[in-house]
Structure 1
Amino acid sequence: MSSKSPQISSALLAAATLFTVASAEATNGYFVEGVGPKAQSMAGVGVALPQDALAAANNPAGTALVGDRLDVSFSWFTPDRSARIRGNIYGADGTYDGNKKSDFLIPELGYTRVLTSQLSWGLAVYGNGGMNTSYKNNPFAAFGSSGAAGVDLSQLFITPSLAYRPTPDHSFGIAATFAAQRFEATGLQAFDNPQVSASAGNVTNRGHDTAYGWGVKLGWIGRLRDDLSLGLSWSSRIETGEFERYEGLFADAGGFDIPENYAIGLSWEATPRLTLAADWQQILYSDTGSVGNSLSLLFQGKPLGAAGGPGFGWQDVEVSKLGIAFRAADELTLRAGISHAEQPIPTSETFINILAPGVIEDHISIGADWHTGLGEITLSYAHAFEETVQGTNSIPANFGGGEAELTMSQNILRFGWSRRF
């Protein structure tokens, strides 16, 4: 765990609790679909279209293009997640509801300031992603577990950014990202023994643990012509400290690094009132052992928590986003978007992912901005369509065989307030 002082660790733990994105795998795997209410109302589009002071979360080059402003927003997130087991000889068959907790409030905060005609700085504070499940009826009870089962992961990102605009047509940005993670697992006694874990006693019911790390974001936005802009962004892998209380669950003695990701975006001002934008993003889940390694390694001599040990078996995903903004009046802008993500969970890995059923692929969003004397008000709604992944040879014979099926849908309501200076 981090060597930070108890006072700092306590403060960060409180902040991570406030920013609990423990929201059952927010849309694109366990990454949020976008940061900032305006981007979110366009399905997360924002690489080439910065619209608020949270722009650096999507592309730090955007810090130079939004002016002096403050943005505050809240999302009310209600995921619906469940699992079904069938054909298990140990008696685990049944349908399991993972919604013991189903409502999450997620805040965001952004501030940008222009220093000179070429230089701007900003600060974005937001939840990057997370996962939460809580099964009152434990799906692993037939294998020796007891009590409610589930996991609770939240990630808080604090991203100070600096952007340089050498010409009116080009902006370059760099940001440092401080990440604070908070995690808890319960009801996994079936995996908490020396035959399964390299550190029995550090698998489940150990309370919340925290881990911290730093990463880098780079970005560029260039105007190709008066009505067309291109953007590029890259976020490094964030190597965090280990979850020491869960060193027997996660690979590499509790490691849970945050994956590298990169994106490209286009923004086209089709008319003075109509803007179309699109992003393509790649998230490298497979490069992080605890997320990408297959559970099958458990039966090849590598226990949970071991170096290079088993994980959740997630694969890399590509995400495509398309958004539209229409200025209906000087005081009113309407927005909408659609998004599609590849499936991160292979059908062979559904058993362990009962804990983390991040199977969402498609969602739509709508939103609107109103300019008032008290600032700009943004409202948006997004729906992630129900997705089901049916297992194929998903439950190992050691656990009685059969198949595990995962299902999820999501609804997200957002409110944002902005003020220009």
Structure 2
Amino acid sequence: MKTTRHRITLLCAVCTAAVSGSAWATNGSYTTANGPFAAGMGGVAIAFPQDAVVAADNPAGMAMVGNRVDLYGLLLVTQSDSTFGSYQNHFYSRAIVPAVGLGFNYQIAPQWTVGVSVTGVGIADNYGRPVLPVPGAGPAKSSLIGINALPTVTYKPLPNLAVGASLVLGLEQFRSNGVVAATPGGDVIALPSHGTQYATGIGAGVGVLWTPIPMVDLGASYYTKTWFSALPGYRDDLLAASNGHLNLPSRYGAGVAVHPMPKLTIAADYMRIQWSGAAGYNIASSFNWHDQNVFRFGFSYDITSKWTVRAGYSIANSHFDSDHTLANFYASGINDRAVTAGVTYSFDAKNSITGAIEYDIPRSVQGTGPSTGTSINTNFQVYTIGYTHKF
């Protein structure tokens, strides 16, 4: 395996489907939104906390959501209609990936809260056959599932100011099959599959939330990288360039929420995701993921005491260029724009149910340079439903 590590040049790291998924949808390997409330508003959350999942966007937001439990599940539905190496070498993949998340928050004193946000997402590709007729190459398929838990504490030094800090504890599950690579001599060979492997990660986040005047909220947050342990087996071939690591990048952002009337909130976020510093994603010879600027916009309106409606829009610059299309063949989450809508029905003052739909505007990428002949065409939808109990 040591010889393999030093001699094999990944065919633009093709089929490292790991990067197809810690995130997914518009923001590389991050989801557009965390939790069902933000999911209806294009992901907006940094200055507008609505549930106990908000620590994934701004730890300080937990200071404003009260005592509550939020449970949610989602389905990511992806369709990929792509080519590999030649426009005549056509592939189709459809995957439906379930994920769950939760949030818990408790006010232990007038100025202090403790809680935890858990977000879980996943993505998969299954093209059903080998990408090339290489001896030993199995059907091309892969999956990455990630779960992040954020134990969080907040403090309010002033009635209109909150600060928060989170520890980020991550678990990722990765498996791939049907990976092919080129040797220095130009031969194409099949790399072995190492089955399902796991890695654990750790990071941290901090945030602030300030209400300078009653109708305006301002928020900001910063998260370090989440450093993951090496994925056994894959670090000797498929992920040799990063020594088996797939780290989540550092990111920072700021947001504003305006309440022009008691029932209406209009909010916007800006987020910078620093993929260029994340091991496994930033390899210039393969994926070459770039830093992303993400803009999220949304509104929320209380129709009655029982019904709330939401809508939103998210847009980001592409996280890779067309010269690296071949390396990102399995990274079906290439969409960079999303439209969302959501609704909450409150049974009473303590219990409610929330649903959201995300439609990612279809995107096509045609490979150039070393990726000529490879194309990626994707459709992407996310369906989210959640239950909230306040106490």
Comparing 374-383 and 319-328, the one that deviates more: 374-383
Structure 1 counterpart of 2:282, one-letter code? G
Residue type at the aligned position of 1:370: Y
In structure 2, relative to structure 1, the CA distance for the partners of 1:40 and 1:204 (3 Å cut) is: farther
The offset of 1:22, in angstroms, is 5.3
**Does residue 375 of structure 2 align to residue 405 of structure 1?**
yes
**Superposed displacement of residue 94, structure 1:** 2.1
The letter of the residue matching 2:44 is V
The amino acid across from 1:249 in the alignment is L
1:96 to 87, 91, 95: 91
Report Cα offsets for 1:130-160 as digits up to 9, x if no partner.
Answer: 4421111322x14556221132111110110
Q: 1:391·1:404 contact (CA, 8 Å) conserved in 2?
A: yes
Q: Which residue of the other structure, out of 269, 273, 278, is the alignment partner of 2:263?
A: 273
After TM superposition, the structure 1 = structure 2 runs for residues 305-320 of structure 1, keeping only pairs within 5 Å, are 311-320=286-295
Structure 2 CA distance for aligned equivalents of residues 171 and 215 of structure 1: 21
Distance in 2 of aligned mates of 1:168 and 1:195 = 67
d(CA) in 2 for partners of 1:227, 1:104:
39
Return the match for 1:415 from 376, 381, 385: 385
How far has the Cα of 1:196 moved from its partner? 8.7
> Quick one: structure 1 residues 312 and 361, their matched pair in 2 at CA, closer, same or farther if it must change by over 3 Å?
same
Output the CA distance in 1 between the equivalents of 2:295 and 2:193: 38
> What is the match of residue 299 of structure 1?
none
Whether 1:120 and 2:131 are equivalent positions in the alignment is: no
Could you tell me which residue of structure 1 aligns to residue 11 of structure 2? none
Alignment of 1:99-248 (within 5 A): 99=94, 102-127=95-120, 129-139=121-131, 141-142=132-133, 146-188=137-179, 190-191=180-181, 203-247=191-235, 248=237
Shift of 1:339: 0.6
**Shift of residue 23 of structure 1?**
8.2
Shift of 1:408: 1.1
Selected match of 1:375 from 351, 358, 369: 351
Change (3 A) 1:24 1:159: closer
SS in 2 for 1:286: helix
Q: Cα deviation per residue 1:336-376 (whole Å; 9 max; x = unaligned)?
A: 00010111120000011112133101111111111104711
Partner-residue secondary structure (3-state), 2:369 = coil
| 2-structure distance, mates of 1:265, 1:167 | 20
Aligned pair 1:359/2:334, yes or no? yes
**Alignment check: 8 A CA contact 2:173 2:199 kept:** yes
Among candidates 266, 275, 293, match of residue 283 of structure 2:
293
Partner of 1:79: 78
- Point out the structure with the larger strand share: 2
Q: CA deviation at 1:407?
A: 1.2
Structure 2: tracts of 5 or more residues without a match? 1-19
Amino acid at match of 1:378: T
Shift of 1:193: 5.9
Q: Distance in 1 between matches of 2:23 and 2:88?
A: 23
Please say if residues 61 and 171 of structure 1, whose CA atoms lie closer than 8 Å, have aligned partners that are also in contact: yes
In 1, the alpha carbon distance for the partners of 2:380 and 2:111 equals 41
Runs (4+) off by over 3 Å: 21-24, 142-145, 192-197
Q: What amino acid is aligned across from residue 278 of structure 2 in structure 1?
A: T
| Deviation digits for residues 42-100 of structure 1 (CA, Å, limit 9, x no counterpart) | 011000000011111111001111000000011122111231246x4xxx83221122x
Give the TM-score of the pair, scaled to structure 2.
0.89
The residue number in structure 1 matching 2:247 is 257
Q: Does 1:332 align with 2:307?
A: yes
Structure with larger RCO (C-alpha < 8 A, sep 6+): 2
- How far 1:195 sits from its partner (Å)? 6.2
Q: Deviations over 1:235-291 (max 9, x none)?
A: 100111111210111123212111111111100001111100000111111212321
- The separation in 1 between residues aligned to 2:127 and 2:136, in whole angstroms, is 12
Tell me the distance in 2 between the aligned counterparts of 1:358 and 1:22: 7
Indicate if the aligned counterparts of 2:52 and 2:70 stay in contact, CA closer than 8 A.
yes
The percentage of counterpart residues that share the same residue type is: 26
Q: Is the 8 A contact 1:64 1:165 kept in 2?
A: yes
Q: Give 2:324's match in structure 1, choosing from 324, 345, 349.
A: 349
Say whether the 8 Å CA contact 2:23–2:31 is kept in structure 1. Answer: no
Match for 1:147: what amino acid?
Answer: G
AA of the residue aligned to 1:313:
N
Distance 1:344 1:133, change over 3 A: same
Residue 103 of structure 1: SS of its match in structure 2?
Answer: strand
